[in-house]
Structure 1
Amino acid sequence: MKQAFFPRAETVLDGIYVDLVRSLYAAFIPSVIMSVGFVAGGVLMVRETGDMALALIVAAGTLASLIRLAVAFGGREEALDPGLGVERAQRLEHRFAATYLAFAVCLGAFGARVFALPATGVHLFTVTLLVGYGAGVSAGIALRPRLAVSSMVIGIVPGIVAAFAVPQQIYWATAAMMVALLAGGIRSLLDRYRFTVREISRRITFGNLARTDGLTDLPNRLALREWFEEHVTLNPRAGLVAVHCLDLDGFKAVNDQFGHPVGDALLAAVGKRLSYIIRDTDMAARLGGDEFAVVQCGMKHPEEAAVLARRIEAAIRQPFRLGGEVARISTCIGYAVSDDRAEDLEPLISRADEALYIAKRRGGGIVAQVGDEPGEIAAAA
């Protein structure tokens, strides 16, 4: 997986990376507080000092703040999209990082300039602003540590260096305290990042296990239902949808003849064949035992479902070489077609199951459910 902003030293799963990018857009309030504080304090300091260089820095920082808030607010809906993938997440992170670092540069220049001015009354507020910025970064974007650390260093260190340059011990002590707070903040956010990555990884791992059939590595019924909702129910371009239900004729004989290990290997092989012959836009799942389902979406004509059903039947009819054994099986298939995106998966599976039952009663082949009533079932092959 590619890293969107910095070359990555850590290796995390795509799902973890996407969740970490989402966290950038979840913490909006700290950015608002920091922006308001910077603009309000900057205007007061410019009025107090009359310094034109400071005025230009405040103007640039104000513009960077507005752009940063617009990007953070405008990207929240996309960041929270359940279908967010790695490539889109990378673009979101890149935009966010660019605006965040732009403001950090302005803040760093602001701190350096303020401490170079003789007006000591504005120095106290600047220290508060810099420390508050560090706290806001730790609270808001700690889960992207390289961006967070870079922002803190760029935004705070110039002010620290300028404070050390003031020939007064109180400024040296203040600068040293800011260094300690910066180091402690960086350490804390790195610890938080490591802990959060472990927790997200654990959550994704357990979630995948709960949604994957352990024998075939196909999605199970729960995962199929979630996929259907995302890719069909919520997809305005889903088109016609077909659900194919099938079971294996001759599977019990293979189990009895060769034993359960070969039977398990046969189920896994069937799962691989189904995954191979369907499109990337379709989904195959194991429902249990020797029962499988395939959801086919984006069709323009019902005949496309019949074509896929025949391909499935032909693929499973081919011999399976399992270790030193050769197993031959066939399949019965029942499928139902719907043009109603509001129709739930379960009624479609029920209709396909009904067609499958008739196919089995007839001794095999493919049967299509062509209407809503059981009587409207016709042979497809």
Structure 2
Amino acid sequence: MGEKDAKRRIIVGFVIDPVLLSGAETGSGTWRMRASVESDEVYVALVSDLARTALPTTILGVTFAGVGLFVAQALGHAGLTAAVASGVLACLCKLALMIGQTRRLARRPYAPREARLWEWGHLLATIGVASSVGAFAAMVFAQPQMEPQMLATGLLFGYSSGVVAHLFIRPVLACGALLLAVLPAIASAAWFGDMPHRILAAMFGLFLVGALQSVFSAHRKAIRQIRLRLDMAALARSDTLTGLANRLGLREAFRTLSGTGDDSVAIHCFDLDRFKPVNDRYGHAAGDALLQELGARLRLIVGPPALAARTGGDEFVVLQPGVRHPGEAERFARRILHALSAPYRLGPETVSVGLSLGFACAPSRTADLEDLVRRADAASYAVKRQGGGVAPSGPAAGPPRARAGADSVPATCR
């Protein structure tokens, strides 16, 4: 994580938790801030959840408009009308933001950089709502009438409970909203009121402290739950032996492809030659160790956005997006062939296996995974009958099936 991203997380993404350290550690009275670090996946998931608060925002907007206009009319206070108008407008802006975010999420997940923009949009809208609620409550408590103060108290508690229940996923945003809404009411009740109002201000302060603590606690639990959910999802999409993707992971990665222009996607299918004799001679544990080493080699040469998957015992599929000309797929196939054909060290023994690799290409916008796998698999079986090596799909590919370790690969990617 870069310095800029780290600063951003401290501002809007970290849980700030003051902890008084002992004098022996840092000196008497020194405070440190502990940050609950969010991974990019967790951060994106939490920001995405901000789009799911449309109903509470609608309820707040309707309630604020009804209660606020009634109180403003009863007191004949133009400032109250302005506070209500600005609060309702901020609610509408927040709803529009949620609609846009929901539509964006329906297309595909976004990156952390884009998530940060959505989070700042929610921050600005929330500041507008919270400051309007706070200004409204402060002006009401500056008046002597009790009935409007009762309504303002109900509005304030309703808004605060909604913030704790729905915005805890972004704790700095939630705490800022609580402070903007509640502190003006506390100050107004304590300054303009009598002793009962000062007691009410003290109650507001105590409840505010409890609400802030609840936000941090709920956020920590949310992080744990999302991490568990992401871990389980990763397990469901990965092969436990090699750490590569499995069939489900391959399908989901293919589905998220977004090729543009003349980009193509290539699928490489291969299985291992002479793998069964390794299992028969050295045992299944040695075979598993070989597959694990093969997976490690694949991860070194197949980096994002490409993806390697184990689809069977010794069967593998490599997804290569962003192919701009056939030579890219050929060179990538050659790299896989050479890297995986090198000898494997299994304890005191050294063994070698060959590859039978076929590959197929199609335009990203129209590519079909099943069709590409079928064509690449057919090419793999064809080259296997020739003794192993690499071959593209398609009848025009020609006969040359490059042997393991050979330098020539046909010049077509069909």
TM over 0.5: yes
Q: The TM-score by the shorter chain falls in which range?
A: 0.7 to 0.9
Q: Is the 8 A contact 1:238 1:297 kept in 2?
A: no
Match of 1:76 in 2: 102
Paired with 1:110 and 1:171, the residues of 2 have a C-alpha distance of 17
Match of 1:30 in 2: 56
Residues 323, 164 of structure 1: alpha-carbon distance in 2 compared, 3 angstrom cutoff: farther
Which letter does structure 1 place at the counterpart of 2:135?
A
Match of 1:316 in 2: 340
The C-alpha deviation readout for 1:335-371, integer Å capped at 9, x for no partner, is: 222237455322322222111111111111222222x
Match of 1:88 in 2: 114
Match of 1:162 in 2: 188
Structure 2 length as normaliser, TM-score? 0.79
**2:330 matches 1:306:** yes
Match of 2:37 in 1: 11
Paired with 2:96 and 2:90, the residues of 1 have a C-alpha distance of 10
Q: Report matched runs for 1:273-284 at 5 Å.
A: 273-278=297-302, 280-284=304-308
Residues 379, 338 of structure 1: alpha-carbon distance in 2 compared, 3 angstrom cutoff: farther
Paired with 1:18 and 1:106, the residues of 2 have a C-alpha distance of 29
Paired with 1:195 and 1:237, the residues of 2 have a C-alpha distance of 44
SS at match of 2:308: strand
Deviation (angstroms), 1:111? 1.6
Choose from 353, 356, 366 the match for 2:380. 356
Deviation (angstroms), 1:293? 1.0
The C-alpha deviation readout for 1:278-311, integer Å capped at 9, x for no partner, is: 4532211111222211112222333432232222
Residues 281, 198 of structure 1: alpha-carbon distance in 2 compared, 3 angstrom cutoff: closer
Paired with 1:224 and 1:240, the residues of 2 have a C-alpha distance of 17
Paired with 2:166 and 2:261, the residues of 1 have a C-alpha distance of 36
Deviation (angstroms), 1:182? 3.9
Match of 1:271 in 2: 295
My pick for the range that moved more, 290-299 or 140-149, is: 140-149
My pick for the range that moved more, 212-221 or 36-45, is: 36-45
The C-alpha deviation readout for 1:65-107, integer Å capped at 9, x for no partner, is: 4433333332232345542222222222122112212322232
**2:318 matches 1:294:** yes
Paired with 1:236 and 1:88, the residues of 2 have a C-alpha distance of 20
The C-alpha deviation readout for 1:130-153, integer Å capped at 9, x for no partner, is: 111112212321222332122112
My pick for the range that moved more, 183-192 or 210-219, is: 183-192
Instruction: Extract unaligned runs of 5+ from structure 2.
Output: 16-34, 401-408, 410-414
Paired with 2:279 and 2:354, the residues of 1 have a C-alpha distance of 14
SS at match of 1:357: helix
Choose from 110, 120, 142 the match for 1:116. 142
Q: Is the 8 A contact 1:334 1:366 kept in 2?
A: yes
Paired with 2:107 and 2:264, the residues of 1 have a C-alpha distance of 24
Match of 1:213 in 2: 239
Which letter does structure 2 place at the counterpart of 1:30?
P
Deviation (angstroms), 1:48? 3.4
Match of 2:75 in 1: 49
**2:152 matches 1:145:** no
Q: Is the 8 A contact 1:244 1:335 kept in 2?
A: yes
Paired with 2:213 and 2:14, the residues of 1 have a C-alpha distance of 20
My pick for the range that moved more, 147-156 or 325-334, is: 325-334
Instruction: Extract unaligned runs of 5+ from structure 1.
Output: none
The CA RMSD measured in Å over matched residues stands at 3.0
Question: How many residue pairs end up in the alignment?
Answer: 375
Paired with 1:237 and 1:133, the residues of 2 have a C-alpha distance of 49
Match of 1:98 in 2: 124
Match of 2:263 in 1: 239
Q: Is the 8 A contact 2:13 2:38 kept in 1?
A: no
Choose from 389, 401, 404 the match for 1:365. 389
Paired with 2:50 and 2:267, the residues of 1 have a C-alpha distance of 39
Match of 2:159 in 1: 133
Paired with 2:76 and 2:56, the residues of 1 have a C-alpha distance of 29
SS at match of 1:142: coil
Deviation (angstroms), 1:191? 4.3
Paired with 1:272 and 1:318, the residues of 2 have a C-alpha distance of 13
Paired with 1:11 and 1:237, the residues of 2 have a C-alpha distance of 38
SS at match of 2:133: helix
SS at match of 1:334: strand
Choose from 187, 194, 198 the match for 2:224. 198
SS at match of 1:231: coil
Paired with 1:149 and 1:135, the residues of 2 have a C-alpha distance of 12
Paired with 2:13 and 2:359, the residues of 1 have a C-alpha distance of 49
State the identity %.
37
**2:237 matches 1:230:** no
Paired with 1:378 and 1:345, the residues of 2 have a C-alpha distance of 24
Match of 1:20 in 2: 46
Q: Is the 8 A contact 2:262 2:324 kept in 1?
A: no
Q: Which has the higher contact order (CA 8 A, sep 6+)?
A: 1
